[in-house]
Amino acid sequence: MRHVAIVGSGPAGYYTAEALQKADDIAIDVIDRLPVPYGLIRTGVAPDHQSIKAVSRRYEGVALTDNVRFVGHVAVGDDIGIEELTGLYDAVVLATGAPNDRPLAIPGADLPGVIGSAAFVGWYNGHPDFARLAPPLDAAGVAVIGNGNVALDVARILAKTPAEFGGSDIVAHARDALAGGNVRHIHILGRRGPHQIAMTPKELGELGHLERASPRVDPGDLPDEGDDAMLEPGMRKSVTHLRNFASNLVAKPVTIDFDFFAMPVAIEGREENGGRVQRVIVEKTALDADLRSHGTGEHYAIEAGLVISCIGYQTPPIPGVPYEHGRGRFANDDGRILPGLYCVGWARRGPTGTIGTNKPDGARIAELILEDVPRGTGKTGRSGLDRLLDSRGVTPVTFRDWRRIEAAEVQAAIEGAPREKFVSIEAMIEAIGR
C-alpha cells in the first residue's frame, strides 16, 4: 500500500487525488483545516458564478471513492506537524493554495478601510476567518487596486443590486450589508494600460450588463485599434469590451471607472474619522519598452472610503519547508520540495491560471509520486494519523459529516439560492451534532 496525504481540499488537492486514485494499492487522505471541503471553490470563486462552483460535484465523486478520505477540521502546523505527516505517509502533497494577499507596500496601506481581496472575497463568500470583517460600505467612493479577474469580481459584487444576487450563494451578512450600503463610484486602478490587463473576456463583459452600474473607460487611454491585432484572441476580446465601454456611455446610478496608467502611491486617512481612509493618491504612469510602468510625476486623488487591494496572493510559508520569498510559493522543482514532500496548484506555481489549470498540475504530481514512491515502505498512513489525532483529542470531520453540514446549508437556503452557508466553524460543528 502507498499512503498519500494531501493538505488542502481545493481544486489542486482534489485533482491530485483524482489522478492518484487510479493507481492500485493507494490510500489518500485529503486534510483540511476547515470542516468543509473545496477550498477556493467554496470561498474564492464568486458567489454569482455558480457554473464555476459546480465543479465541486466532480470532487465529490472523487471524495466518495473507497481509497480517498476527507479529514476535515485538522490544522496542519497546529494539530499535526509537517514532519509528523511525512513520518506517517509515503508522500505529502501541499495543496494549500495562496490564501494571503500580496502586501500593498505603500504609505497608508494599514489604515482602517483598506482591505485585501483575500479578506473581502472571504467575507462575501462566508469564510469563517473573515465573517466579521464588516467592510465600510457606507463609503460612496471605492478604489479597487489591480487589473486582474479578482478586481473584476470585487467591483461586480460591490455594484450588484440585491435582485442580481438571485440564484447565488452570497452569504446573508454580505447580502444585507451590500443592500444597505452606499457605494456609488467604483474606480478600478491599473498601473499599466488596456493591453496589459489580466482580465478574461467573459468576466469583463459581465460589467456591461449590470442593472444599476455602468463601466467607463477614457477613450484617450486606449491604444490605436490596429494594435489590437497583435494581441492573442482572448485578450483581443477583452480589449474589445473596453472599447465598447469607452464608446457606449450609459448613465446609471453607479459608475465603474477604469483608471489606467494609474499607480497608487499613498493612501490618506481622515483624522477626525479615526484615521479611516479618505483618498488614494495616484501617480500617472508611462510604460517603457519592456512594458513596465514608471511614474511620470503627475498625481491626482481618488476619494475613497474603502480601498480593496486585488494585486495577487501568496502561499503562507510553513516552518521547515523551503520557500521562495520573492514569488510567495514553496521552493520546488516541478512540484518536488524534499524527498516525500510535494506541492501542487498555487502553492507550486503561484496564483495564476483558472480552476482547470489545476487538473494537469494534479496529474503531473500524481505521476511523480507514483514514480518516486515504492510500494510497501511500511508507513502507517491513515491508521497512524488516526492514532495520533486521537491521542491529542482531535476528532476530524468526515465526508459523511460534511454532507450533513451541506444538507443543513441547502435546507437553510433562501428562495432561488443553492445554499445558505454556515460562516463559523462552531456552527458547522454544531450542524453535525457535536
Using CB under 6 A, pick the residue from 192, 279, 329, 349 that binds ligand NAP: 192
Stretch that binds ligand NAP, among 12-20, 139-147, 212-220, 377-385 (CB under 6 A): 139-147
- Check residue 191 for interaction with ligand NAP (CB under 6 A): yes
Phi, psi dihedrals of residue 414, rounded to the nearest 5° = -80, 165
> Based on the number of CB atoms within 10 Å of its own CB, is 255 exposed (0-12), middle (13-18) or buried (19 or more)?
middle
- Name the one residue in this structure whose C-alpha cell is 477540521: 73
Listed ranges 160-168, 170-178, 197-205, 314-322: which one lies at the site for ligand NAP (CB under 6 A):
197-205
Nearer to ligand NAP, 339 or 353 (CB): 353
Buried residues in 4-33 as b, exposed as e (16+ CB within 10 A) = bbbbbbbbbbbbbbbbbbebeebbbbbbbb
Distance between CA 309 and CA 116 in Å, rounded? 5
Task: Identify which range of 192-200, 210-218, 229-237, 382-390 contacts ligand NAP by CB under 6 A.
Answer: 192-200
- Of residues 254 through 313, those in contact with ligand NAP by CB under 6 A are 310-313
State in angstroms the smallest separation of the CB of 192 from ligand NAP. 5
SS3 content of the chain, % helix, strand, coil (to 5): 35, 25, 40
Does 118 participate in binding ligand NAP (rule CB under 6 A)?
Answer: no
CB of 207 vs ligand NAP, minimal distance in Å: 13
Contact predicate 54/418, CB 8 Å: no
Q: Per-residue x/- mask for ligand NAP, residues 143 to 162, rule CB under 6 A? A: --xxxxxxx-x---------
Closest CA to 211 of 256, 174, 269, 260: 256
Radius of gyration, CA atoms only, the chain: 23
d(CA 90, CA 88): 7
| Nearer to ligand NAP (CB atom), residue 88 or residue 154 | 154
List binders of ligand NAP among 335-364 (CB under 6 A): 351-354
Q: Which three cell numbers stand for residue 147?
A: 487589473
Task: Report residue 238 as a C-alpha cell.
Answer: 477583452
Tell me 310's DSSP state.
-
Least distance between ligand NAP and beta carbon 30 (Å): 22
| Residue 84 or 221 having the CB closest to ligand NAP | 221
Nearer to ligand NAP (CB atom), residue 11 or residue 135: 11
End-to-end CA distance of the chain: 33
Site for ligand NAP in 49-68 (CB under 6 A): 49
* Shortest Cβ 45–ligand NAP spacing (Å): 7
* Least separation in angstroms between CB 415 and ligand NAP: 26
Q: Using CB under 6 A, which of the segments 142-150, 180-188, 361-369, 390-398 binds ligand NAP? A: 142-150
Contacts to ligand NAP by CB under 6 A: 49, 145-151, 153, 190-192, 196, 198, 200, 203, 310-313, 351-354
